[in-house]
Copies of this chain bind each other. A is one copy, B any other.
Amino acid sequence: MSRRTPGQRVGLTREAVLRAALALADREGLKALSMRRLGAELDVEAMTLYHHVPSKDALLDGLVELLVAPIAPPAFEAGSWQEALHAYASELRTTLLAHPNVIPLVASRPAVTAQNLQVMEAALESMRAAGLQPADALDVLYAVTGFVLGHVVTSPDGDPVDQLDALDPAEYPLLAEAVSKASPRGTEARFEFALDALLSGLEPNALD
């Protein structure tokens, strides 16, 4: 049951493969993302994919890069210190939340790709313009990025409260109370609250 005769091109590119992989992971989860399954999705045999990607690990790396690449680095030229980092953190969070299935991947790959290095360099550039030493700026960048990742990892979709909804108030009275009262605020408010806490604490130390 062959799809077509060998050699007959189907116009695959690395980019197309990565996009299909992201779509598949979004739709059916990371476990469904196998080379055979992805091949089927593109109407191609699994081994064909290896002409565009050297291994499955490399494919996953590429997937993370595809996801993170379009995020704009923090721009300090316009607006205050906090605003720039706040906007950057929010965009990063939004991007990750749009692909919840891929978050574990982002969290488990260092992703020191050329793409990422350029983003970091650009960020340091504009942070220097704002008066920061590069060493301090790097600390701040790491702190904010790690914070966003950690927040997204601990509350991927919807309120973390969702998972705690059916909670026995007799066994966990305070937890139940906290959950019932915290609901209206939502995860986003919780994120902004903690982010601003971090940023306001970061500023005096970093600028001194």
Determine the chain B residues whose CB is within 8 A of the CB of A142 once the complex forms: 151, 154-155, 160, 190, 194
Q: Is A35 an interface residue (CB 8 A)?
A: no
> Which listed residue, B110, B124, B173, B194, touches A175 by the CB 8 Å rule?
B124
Contact pattern, A 184-208, Cβ under 8 Å of B = 1, otherwise 0: 0000001001101111111001000
Q: Say yes or no: A172 contacts B121, CB within 8 Å.
A: yes
Q: Say yes or no: A197 contacts B124, CB within 8 Å.
A: no
Determine the chain B residues whose CB is within 8 A of the CB of A112 once the complex forms: 163-164
- Report copies per complex: 2
**Chain A binding surface, main DSSP class:** helix
Q: Is A128 an interface residue (CB 8 A)?
A: yes
Determine the chain B residues whose CB is within 8 A of the CB of A148 once the complex forms: 150
Q: Is A107 an interface residue (CB 8 A)?
A: yes
Nearest-neighbour CB distance to chain B for A201, whole angstroms, equals 3
A residues with a Cβ closer than 8 A to B are: 103-104, 107-108, 110, 112, 117-118, 120-121, 124-125, 128, 133-135, 137-139, 142-143, 145-151, 153-156, 160, 163-164, 167, 171-175, 177-179, 181-182, 190, 193-194, 196-202, 205
A-B contact pairs, 30 of them (CB 8 A): A104-B104, A104-B107, A107-B107, A112-B163, A117-B172, A121-B171, A121-B175, A128-B174, A134-B181, A135-B178, A135-B181, A135-B182, A137-B178, A138-B179, A139-B190, A142-B160, A142-B190, A143-B193, A143-B194, A143-B197, A145-B150, A146-B150, A146-B153, A146-B154, A147-B151, A149-B153, A153-B153, A194-B202, A198-B201, A201-B202
